[in-house]
Structure 1
């Protein structure tokens, strides 16, 4: 999936999560977007890879693309590290929700992800799409509708 689809997915997931928690939706939203792009640090051409090119090259050299940073191991490691460093709970929750949305979206692509890294098994949905294709555009549109749906109540509560 492209960066804009991951960002929109992170927003939709964060806003949906805000509906069932008492966390500040703005904090969830901002950290959810960060979490939604974080797993692609392993890809130099991604939004985050271009922002941190040296780190991106190191991670890619060590693990490759869609392996460690797209795994449950990375998700759990991030949760442990964020908790150990005393990061606010809402920020941690948003980051993890955003990362999970990234994983789900990438499992819908033909290449899938190594969800159970270090096992080499690729996880993908039975029906997949090509990154940047027409189906991804439809997924982006559906996620945009979900953003409006989940964001409506939150928007109204601020005004």
Structure 2
């Protein structure tokens, strides 16, 4: 998936998570968007990879793309670090929800992810799409709709 799809996915996931928690939806919205781009630090051409090129190059050299940073091990390590060092539980939760949304979206691509890294097998959904393809545009539109829907609910707007 492209960066914009990951970002809207993180926003939708953060706002959906706001429906079942008492966390501030604004924090979940922002943290979900940021968390959704974190796993692609392993790819130098990604939004976060371009922002942190040295870190991206090191992680890619050690692990490659869609391996460690797209795994449950990474998610658990991030959970530990966020809950230990971040001062706000909503921020930590939102970042984790964003990372989770990223993993799910990349499982919908033909290349899939190494969800159970260090094991080498690839996990993907039975029906997949090509990154940047027309199906991704449909996914982006659906996630945009969900973000608006959950946003109205999270911010208690009157319908």
TM-score (norm. length: structure 1): 0.96
Matches within 5 A, 1:86-125: 86-125=86-125
| Structure 1 Cα separation of the partners of residues 86 and 49 of structure 2 | 26
Three-state SS of the structure 2 residue aligned to 1:58 is helix
Cα deviation 1:5-34 (Å, max 9, x = unaligned) = 000000000000001100001111111111
| Structure 2: segments with no counterpart, 5+ residues | none
Three-state SS of the structure 2 residue aligned to 1:120 is coil
Check the 8 A contact 2:71/2:113 in 1, yes or no: yes
Check the 8 A contact 2:86/2:92 in 1, yes or no: no
| Structure 1: segments with no counterpart, 5+ residues | none
| Structure 1 Cα separation of the partners of residues 81 and 145 of structure 2 | 34
| Structure 1 Cα separation of the partners of residues 48 and 91 of structure 2 | 18
Check the 8 A contact 2:25/2:155 in 1, yes or no: no
| Structure 1 Cα separation of the partners of residues 126 and 31 of structure 2 | 30
Three-state SS of the structure 2 residue aligned to 1:76 is helix
User: Which residue in 1 is equivalent to 2:17?
Assistant: 17
Three-state SS of the structure 2 residue aligned to 1:6 is helix
Q: How far 1:135 moved relative to its partner?
A: 0.2
User: Which residue in 2 is equivalent to 1:135?
Assistant: 135
Cα deviation 1:36-60 (Å, max 9, x = unaligned) = 0000000000000000011000000
TM-score (norm. length: structure 2): 0.96
2:29 is the alignment partner of 1:29? yes
Check 1:142–1:86 CA distance in 2 against 1; reply closer, same or farther (3 A cut).
Answer: closer
| Structure 2 Cα separation of the partners of residues 145 and 5 of structure 1 | 12
| Structure 1 Cα separation of the partners of residues 86 and 148 of structure 2 | 32
Aligned residues: 158
2:49 is the alignment partner of 1:49? yes
| Structure 2 Cα separation of the partners of residues 102 and 82 of structure 1 | 17
Question: What CA RMSD, in Å, does the superposition of the two structures yield over aligned residues?
Answer: 1.2
Cα deviation 1:83-118 (Å, max 9, x = unaligned) = 222431101100100000000000000000000000
